[in-house]
A = this chain, B = another copy of it.
Amino acid sequence: MSLSTRGGTLGAMTVAARPYHHGNLAATLLEHAERALEERGAGELSLRELAREIGVSHAAPRRHFADKQALLAALAESGFERLEATLAGAVSEAAGRPFEERLTALARAYVGFAVERPALLELMYATKHDPAASDRLREAATRTFAIPLGVITDAQETGDVVPGDPEAVGIAAWATIHGIASMSGSGMLAPAELDALVAVAIERAVLGLRPR
């Protein structure tokens, strides 16, 4: 059984014919957990309540997730996988277009994810930062951040971005995009001004990244 599979099918899952006494409890648990996470926050998430909703005994989740933290870690991992796919999709759609447009596409995709699933994104960062984080989770996070790093590397090859360690070069631009995403997630930004703000931020970032 692979978490990747669970994560990948999480969104498209159909809940046909309630699996009674057996079935794909792990995936169903993750689905319900994610909804509870966005609706009530990680602190209020109750394993017993999830089990009740699904119609299974409170001890059943134990078969699939060792404890509450393990369930949250699986949720975070599935979040990274979906974020990676989202970012990769945005970048590949903008392939061949000017650097500024590719960066804008990437930023919009990231901010869009943050606006739609703020609690999940927060959980993803918190869980990844946790010293007890699994290798699986760390690797999923690394794969995700490889997408923006790849955009920088490509732009260095075409001369749109100053040479140097891509991570060091891009960190200020990433901080801006992350800041916009974080502020959006906690409702500090009006959705109407979001697109314009991303545009301004990217314009400045591109200026800052350009060789002189």
Residues of chain A whose beta carbon lies under 8 Å from any beta carbon of chain B: 42-43, 125-126, 129, 168, 171-172, 174-180, 182-183, 186-189, 193, 197, 200-201, 204-205, 207-208
| Copy count, this protein chain | 2
**Set B43, B168, B180, B197: member contacting A179, Cβ < 8 A:** B180
Q: In the assembled complex, which residues on chain B have CB atoms less than 8 Å from the CB atom of A43?
A: 42-43
A62 CB to nearest B CB, Å = 20
Check if A188 sits within 8 Å of B42, measured CB to CB: no
Check if B125 sits within 8 Å of A186, measured CB to CB: yes
Q: In the assembled complex, which residues on chain B have CB atoms less than 8 Å from the CB atom of A183?
A: 175, 178
Known: A182-B182, A186-B125, A186-B129. A197 touches B175 (CB 8 A): yes
**Set B42, B129, B174, B204: member contacting A208, Cβ < 8 A:** B204
Q: In the assembled complex, which residues on chain B have CB atoms less than 8 Å from the CB atom of A129?
A: 186-188
Q: In the assembled complex, which residues on chain B have CB atoms less than 8 Å from the CB atom of A186?
A: 125-126, 129
Known: A129-B187, A129-B188, A207-B207. A201 touches B172 (CB 8 A): yes
Check if A179 sits within 8 Å of B188, measured CB to CB: no
The complex places the Cα of A42 from the Cα of B197 at a distance, in Å, of: 31
Q: In the assembled complex, which residues on chain B have CB atoms less than 8 Å from the CB atom of A171?
A: 189, 193, 197
11 contacts between A and B (CB under 8 A): A129-B188, A171-B197, A172-B176, A172-B197, A172-B200, A175-B201, A176-B179, A176-B201, A179-B179, A204-B204, A204-B205
